Amino acid sequence: MTAEKLRSLFDFYSAHLERSSRDGCPPIHRDDPQSGGTMRNHLRWMCEEARNNLIPAGRVEKAMRWLGFVQGVLFCFNDFTIDQLKDHSRPDEDKS
């Protein structure tokens, strides 16, 4: 996967998370429901951090691990199916 494709995926998931924010999302710290942070907010932060800092710094492998985490949680939230996530990650020229 190219760095540009990786950036575009983080942009896509960040926009999706912004659109789909829900008050009912579980808090990040389950033992502290007043923490204010939700998993969707954390995923969005991960997308922005990877796009703006990890990829430009050449830390593409770490960004790829973060992408896998983001995609895994979005699957668990039933936002996307496995087939949709696989399709998102395909090179653009392979989609048709």
Q: Model confidence over 58-80: pLDDT tens digits?
A: 999 999 999 999 999 999 989 99
| pTM score | 0.81
HEC profile of the chain: CCHHHHHHHHHHHHHHHHHCCCCCCCECCCCCHHHCCEHHHHHHHHHHHHHHHHCCCCCHHHHHHHHHHHHHHHHHCCCCCHHHHHHHHCCHHHCC
Q: Are 83 and 77 in contact (CB under 8 A)?
A: no
Tens of pLDDT, residue by residue over 7-50, are: 999 999 999 988 877 555 555 555 555 555 678 888 999 999 99
Average of pLDDT values for 49-60? 96
